[in-house]
Amino acid sequence: MPLFALICHDKPGHANLRQENRAAHLAYAEASGAVHMAGPFLDEAGGMTGSLVILDVAGRAAAEAWAAQDPYAQAGLFETVSIAAWKKVLG
């Protein structure tokens, strides 16, 4: 299956919304079985400002569907979201 990078940047000033939805986001990611690796983007103070999720799914449509159902997205956390096909070379 192809890999897709889901790159999300939070709306400024929405750290509380991220924290309120973090448990649901993590549970969704775990239960989906589609996450190859994932983690937050951090600011200089260590605060979470976005997400990088590498999805192992059947195609772009599946990556888009996964992104749309993410509790973070449904809560309106993200300012921008992009999805790109990604090829793992190292690691």
Instruction: Give tens-digit pLDDT for 33-63.
Output: 999 999 999 999 999 999 999 999 999 999 9
Q: How many CA atoms lie within 13 A of 37 on its CB side?
A: 3
**pLDDT of residue 1 exceeding 80:** no
What's the rounded mean pLDDT across residues 66-73? 98
Look-up: residue for tokens 């200089």? 44
Q: Return d(Cα 35, Cα 20) in angstroms, integer.
A: 21
What pLDDT does 91 receive? Answer: 85
**pLDDT of residue 12 exceeding 80:** yes
End-to-end CA distance of the chain: 18
What pLDDT does 81 receive? Answer: 98
- Tell me which amino acid residue 22 is: R
| % of the chain beyond a pLDDT of 70 | 100
12's enclosing H/E stretch is none
